[in-house]
Structure 1
Amino acid sequence: MEVHHHSHHPKKLKEYLQEFLMLFFAVFLGFMSEYYLEYRAERHKEHDYLVSMTKDLKADLDDMHTKDQTMDELLLSGMKITSIIYKPNWEDSDVDSLYLNSINMVTRFITLNFSSGTIDQLRNAGGFRLILNEGIVAKITEYEKGKQLIQVQQEAMMERWSKVHHMQNKLLHLNVFGQPDRTGKITLNRDELNKIISQTGKAFLTSDKNTFYEYSNYVNVSKGYVAFYQIMCKMQQQKAQELIKLIEQELVH
């Protein structure tokens, strides 16, 4: 029996090159496909972060706008208190005003409550690397620094606020206040105050003018801290508006 041996011709260089190129392009295309999918996933995450950040900023703006109006009320109350204290004689309307504006000074909530959900996610998940627009990252950083400065001012303001409250405890009969009305303002029970006046001969815990002047000083100091806090609030509003505008421009692209 004859055995036929098949001859194996060595591959030409061109065939090796073709096989190499086919393998190279297969690996390259696989790599590019994976890279593109990862890129698209990160861009979706970036989009979600920016949308969420915009919502947080708008919530901050709403809170700052409301608190800004309340700060105006508080500052006006402080001015009225000082004006009345330095009057030589007080009428019944002055006494009522002193009571109501004093309680207004310590029951108006003006501290800002910033939304932190998105910024916390960006920090904890390393999400800042996903935001490609360096201008947005810079603005976010600037906004966060503003929040930190406001927090420092807020703590100093609350310390002065507590002193105002302490002085009120030396001057006011706090049991003459009624329940807050629908707008949240506390009412004065004049009948209760008249009863106290008939029993003690005076509308306050003391008639010492120097104590009232001291109270006025604390009120004025507190007003100063509130006024500066309000300025910082307005500056933060501006930063929020600029950041929202920048993000919305980015989301359009």
Structure 2
Amino acid sequence: MEVHHHSHTARKKWTHYFWEFVMLFLAVFCGFLAEYQLEHKIEKDREKQFIQSLVKDTKKDIEQCDSLYRQNKFSQTLCDSLLTMLSGKEIIINSYPAYKLWGSMIGYYDFIPNDGTIQQLKNSGALRLIKKQEVVSRLMDYNKITETIKIIQSGMNTYLLQQSKKTDLFDAARFSNPNDRSNVPLISSDRKLLSWGYEYISLWKKMLEFLNINIENTKNKGNDLPKSVNKEYHIK
């Protein structure tokens, strides 16, 4: 009769299990590092994209500021001409030039900031992607001044609603006469009425001046932002 003996498997040493653990740990750790590096690269790429977009938006705003500044300066010149007419005696005899000038100089072009990128950064919480604090500070300063311009323009729009009071000064009904459009007479030659018109235009001119001061500030802060970006990120 044959007797079968069970074969015994050699027991593994503890060092074998130790190295298995080390290899498993390294595999998991390397996977974690790879994922971390990938996320870091994605965030860096997004940061760069946001920065480039911000610079483009700002440059467009600066171009807009230059145009609006010139237009407002021209309107201020028209204000001076109208103020001269309102304070003179000629307007009693011939008020049509003043009426025509009033209609052409009251109004302005809105400054509409290209703020899509900054609003996306603020609303989505992506502002944290901008790591350079100097750039963030410049960006917030710039956003603040553009918001200030919006408030100023809102006040100017409210003031413009009073333009209907121009009919308190000029007899616009006469202008509808196709046989005589050479003149739009005053409702009254009362100097108090002319003084009201003078005060209205004077204040409008001051509003244009104040708007231009803030447009100039916007341009200056807008120029500071690309400089800061170029310094911190070497992006032009």
TM score, norm. by length of structure 2:
0.86
2:69 matched to which residue of 1?
A: 68
Shift, 1:63, TM fit? 1.5
Matches within 5 A, 1:99-178: 99-106=99-106, 108-163=107-162, 165-172=163-170, 173=172
- Greater shift, 204-213 or 54-63, is seen at 204-213
1:239 matches 2:200: no
Distance 1:64 1:232 in 2: 10
Instruction: State the distance in 1 between where 2:230 and 2:92 align.
Output: 57
State the one-letter code of the partner of 1:60. D
Aligned residue number for residue 5 of structure 1: 6
Q: Quick one: distance in 1 between partners of 2:121 and 2:53? A: 11
Alignment partners' CA distance in 2, 1:244 and 1:174: 54
The answer on whether the counterparts of 1:160 and 1:218 sit within 8 Å (CA) in structure 2 is no
- Contact conserved, 1:82 with 1:216, CA < 8 A, in 2? yes
Q: 1:43-58 maps to which residues of 2 (within 5 A)? A: 43-58=44-59
- TM-superposed CA distance for 1:141, in Å, is 1.4
Q: For 2:57 and 2:169, how far apart are their aligned partners in 1?
A: 42
Question: How many residues in Structure 1 have an aligned counterpart in Structure 2?
Answer: 233
Cα 1:175–1:233 change in 2 (3 A) is farther
Is 1:170–1:205's contact at 8 Å kept on the other side of the alignment? yes
**Consecutive unaligned residues in structure 2, runs of 5 or more:** none
The answer to whether structure 1 residue 210 and structure 2 residue 192 are counterparts is: yes
Q: CA RMSD for the aligned pairs?
A: 2.7
Question: Aligned to 1:5, what secondary structure does the other structure show?
Answer: coil
Change over 3 Å in CA distance of 1:83–1:35 after alignment to 2 = same
1:84 alignment partner in structure 2: 85
Hey, what's the Cα distance between the residues in 2 that align with 1:174 and 1:244? 54
Residue 39 of structure 1: how far off its partner (Å): 1.0
Structure 1: stretches of 5+ with no match in the other structure: 178-189
Shift of 1:191: 7.6
Query: Matched residues in 2 for 1:158 and 1:82: separation?
Result: 21
Q: Is the 8 A contact 1:160 1:221 kept in 2?
A: no
Q: Deviations over 1:54-100 (max 9, x none)?
A: 121112112211111111011111111111111233498x7454233
Taking the aligned partners of 1:126 and 1:112, their CA distance within structure 2 comes to 26
**Which residue of the other structure, out of 183, 207, 211, is the alignment partner of 1:229?**
211
Percent of aligned pairs with the same residue? 24
| SS at 2:90 equivalent | coil
User: Structure 1 residues 174, 242: closer, same or farther in 2, change over 3 A?
Assistant: farther
Q: Pick 1 or 2: higher relative contact order, CA cutoff 8 A, min separation 6.
A: 2
